Amino acid sequence: MTGFGDGGGAGLRRETGRVVNEVAQELRTLDDGAAWFSGLPADEHVKAFRVLLSVFAVADTRRRETYCKGACGHAWHNLPAAAEGL
């Protein structure tokens, strides 16, 4: 696969961010997003995963500060402190 001429850094982050947002906004199907991810070279998966986590963190933080603020029963928003050390 080509298109990551900078070695996969900024180009991959930009591409991953675009694909993630397209899936989230239903401009691209989840299956198509998964196919895109699967088509990445194996050594790009960790980089793409890091981008996915950073996008998730932004969305999750926003949700904690809005919808979940003050009255949240989500198990994943109430994890024991020990999980932070993993």
In the set 18, 45, 50, 77, which binds Zn ion (CB under 5 A)? 77
- CB closer to Zn ion out of 18 and 77: 77
- CB closer to Zn ion out of 34 and 72: 72
- Shortest gap between Cβ of 23 and Zn ion (angstroms)? 22
- Shortest gap between Cβ of 32 and Zn ion (angstroms)? 29
| DSSP SS3 for 58 | helix
Residues contacting Zn ion: total by CB under 5 A: 4
Q: How far apart are alpha carbons 48 and 4 in whole angstroms?
A: 12
Give the helix, strand, coil percentages of the chain, each rounded to 5: 65, 0, 35
What lies within 8 Å, CB to CB, of 41 at 6+ separation is 1
Which residues in the 46-75 window bind Zn ion by CB under 5 A?
Answer: 68, 72, 74
What lies within 8 Å, CB to CB, of 55 at 6+ separation is 17, 20, 21
- Shortest gap between Cβ of 74 and Zn ion (angstroms)? 3
Residues lying near Zn ion in the complex (CB under 5 A) are found at 68, 72, 74, 77
